[in-house]
Amino acid sequence: MKECYLGVDVGSVSTNIVLIDEYDNILLKRYVRTQGKPIEILQNELGKIKRELGNIQINGVGTTGSGRYLASMILGADVIKNEITSHAVAATKYVPNVRTILEIGGQDSKIILLRDGIVTDFAMNTVCAAGTGSFLDRQASRLGVNIQEFGLLALKSKNPVRIAGRCAVFAESDMIHKQQLGHNQEDIVRGLCEALVRNYLNNVGKGKEILDTVVFQGGVAANAGIKKAFEDFLNTDVIVPENFDVMGAIGAALLAKEEIKVKGKTNFKGLGISDIPYTVRGSECGDCSNMCEVIEIKANDSIIARYGDKCGKWTGQLSSNIKNLA
């Protein structure tokens, strides 16, 4: 029986799942769209793992991402970590001397600074779309360019145009204006890549000491045009790891492996949870001025988790949890 560790990164755009073995080799990785249905996506992917890999033993589970608490309740996680820690752990695994991590996803972006393998500073952007992958997706669609070809087209540019990148709305207007002036498509695409990088460095990277070695991860790291723009602006080489798109999940799996070494047994509920019907209900607690939105998760008509309350009133009332659903 193959023994492994599961890492899950649930974000607003994608859910990333990784299985690693005892030697940190990646046995499986999945990058799927969350589509606003994180529980359904998790169940579908676990069902596929059960069918495809068969006789495996998952010794530990780690969750990360904006949906890490929800995922932990469904899976029975052993460790729950924020994205900063998870990305840093994965980056140092593959690039031990990394000192700067640039991470850009579909809906947010972050920068992580490490010194001697320890996170010393970070910043995140969850507000401005002009510094995220969704900005490129939208502009690629408007230009009629496949997003997979976007970066390679940018590399063909000989005379990139400057596009206002401080705001996604202004950038789009400026791009349309440049089209009307008759600029080459590859020059506009290159200008968009540079606009995103300027936005990132002026917002997320503002005031940060960006030192070599620089690692670029997250879904946008697949875009060769963005990588080249970072290298030009920073005047340094930028490393894109082989598994750049699932680094958060890899970090969660590595952390789960270390956690199990300490506590000896896992909370994982088993692959059988892929077949259990879950329902989620939200309600507003009016018992105090916080007006918390309390989320309740049921499995087989039994409440397995409540979360969202600031005072712990509702989570504290939950007297029992389902440990072995499989």
Residue 255 amino acid letter: L
What gap in Å lies between CA 30 and CA 249, rounded to an integer? Answer: 10
Tell me whether residue 110 is in a domain: yes
What gap in Å lies between CA 237 and CA 326, rounded to an integer? Answer: 48
What gap in Å lies between CA 137 and CA 135, rounded to an integer? Answer: 6
Tell me whether residue 212 is in a domain: yes
Tell me whether residue 324 is in a domain: no
pLDDT of 325 reads: 39
Tell me: do 118 and 151 sit in the same domain. Answer: yes
Tell me: do 213 and 235 sit in the same domain. Answer: yes
What gap in Å lies between CA 314 and CA 295, rounded to an integer? Answer: 10
Largest CA-CA distance found in the chain, in angstroms, rounded = 67
- pLDDT, mean over the chain: 85
pLDDT of 253 reads: 97
State yes or no: pLDDT of 225 exceeds 90: yes
Report whether the peptide linkage leading into residue 85 is cis, meaning its omega lies within 30 degrees of zero: no
Q: Considering the entire predicted model, what is its pTM?
A: 0.85
Question: The domain that contains 134 carries what CATH number?
Answer: 3.30.420.40
Tell me: do 156 and 103 sit in the same domain. Answer: yes
Structural tokens at position 77? 């996680």
Q: List the one residue out of 256, 219, 243 whose CA is nearest residue 8.
A: 256
State yes or no: pLDDT of 319 exceeds 50: no
CA dihedral of residues 308, 313, 316, 321 (deg, nearest 10): -50
Tell me whether residue 174 is in a domain: yes
Tell me whether residue 269 is in a domain: yes
Tell me: do 215 and 117 sit in the same domain. Answer: yes
pLDDT bracket for residue 128 (50, 70, 90): low
Tell me whether residue 191 is in a domain: yes
Residue 276 amino acid letter: I
Q: Bridge partners of 38?
A: none
Please state the domain count of the chain: 3
State yes or no: pLDDT of 322 exceeds 50: no
pLDDT of 127 reads: 62
Tell me: do 111 and 212 sit in the same domain. Answer: yes
What gap in Å lies between CA 75 and CA 274, rounded to an integer? Answer: 10
Q: Which tens digit of pLDDT belongs to each residue from 20-42? A: 999 999 999 999 888 778 888 89
Q: Which of 37-46, 128-137, 250-259, 276-285 has the lowest mean pLDDT?
A: 128-137
pLDDT of 126 reads: 61
More confident call, 123 vs 300: 123
Q: Domain containing 17: what range?
A: 2-85+248-275
